[in-house]
Amino acid sequence: MLDKLGQILEQRAELRLEFCDSAVCVQSLAATLVKFNDRGAILEVPALGGLPEVWVGAEISCFFCLRDEACQGGAQLRSFNSRIHRVHRQPGGAALCVLPLPKAIHDAQRRRSVRVKVDMGKVPVLKLWRELSPRAVISGQHPLLNSEHDAKRGLTVGNISAKGLGLQLPEPLMQKVMPGQEKGESFVFYFKAVAQGSSPAADFWVQAVLRSIYANPRTGDVGLGFEFIAEGVLNKARRLDWSALKLHEVSGLGRFIFKWNLDFYREKAAGEA
């Protein structure tokens, strides 16, 4: 464990923090390891508009990539789990997070439910409706959000996993389509996922619950965090048939998450070579 932390420090490897607690509005952060010993580690995260004190006690997964010529692609993607024990605000706005020493480091390439950042090239189509009646015909339902035109107004997919996704949209758009929105309501998503380049797109219908709403005063954007709770199939009558998730994940979505996450770390390692 100490050897791996030493390699992170020596290679100045960036850590990607994924919060496991849905109550934390910020879902993913870049961090830098600044110090460690046999009791714990200290990570530095950049200045944010929110208050990082609410992170104290939150469980996190930390992903990092180490240069390793023996590995395919010349890089080794790993992760460890821990909990934020304390947070210290720095004069410049950055924060120092104190973690207990992790118990183990894992091969992150086996993890498919990690949240990854994506652009509209990877998720070229996304539509959002409020929860639909079982007898509703999809063609007759107007979506609240549709990336085909709302992407031009600032709608983006902030991150996605096989268990949920986060949307980012400007405050004016939020107030227009979802005024006074509160957590806990159910929604229906339709989106396409593309592994890379000209690869064929896969279609996904999912039911999700809105778990978090975060207004960023610095950017003027609103972040919405959704948890997937069911997956659907469009039948011949153009109605949705729903089924429960297996292992709390949307079937088939994990392979896209795995590919996008691996590509991110390979591209990062190639850029640092």
pLDDT in tens, 93-120: 788 999 999 888 876 644 445 778 888 8
pLDDT at residue 224 in the model: 93
> How many Å apart are CA 264 and CA 269, to the nearest integer?
9
How many Cβ atoms are within 10 Å of 93's Cβ, its own excluded? 11
List pLDDT tens digits, range 185-197. Answer: 999 999 999 987 7
Domain ranges of the chain: 2-111, 126-258
CATH of domain 2-111: 2.40.10.220
Q: Is 148 exposed, middle or buried (0-12, 13-18, 19+ CB in 10 A)?
A: exposed
As a whole number, the mean pLDDT across the chain is 84
DSSP for 240-262, written as a single string: EEEEEPBTTB-TTTHHHHHHHHH
For the chain, the straight-line distance linking the first and the last C-alpha, in angstroms and rounded, comes to 24
Please report which helix (H) or strand (E) contains residue 17, including its range.
strand 14-19
CATH of domain 126-258: 2.30.110
Ranges 3-12, 32-41, 98-107, 256-265: which has the least confidence? 256-265
pLDDT (average), residues 130-134: 87
pLDDT at residue 71 in the model: 53
Query: At residue 183, does pLDDT exceed 60?
Result: yes
Domains 2-111 and 126-258 share a fold: no
Q: What is the pTM of this model?
A: 0.61
Alpha helices in the chain (DSSP H): 2-11, 147-150, 171-177, 254-272
Query: At residue 52, does pLDDT exceed 80?
Result: no
**In 131-238, which ranges are E strands?**
145-146, 156-160, 164-170, 186-193, 202-216, 221-234
pLDDT at residue 265 in the model: 67
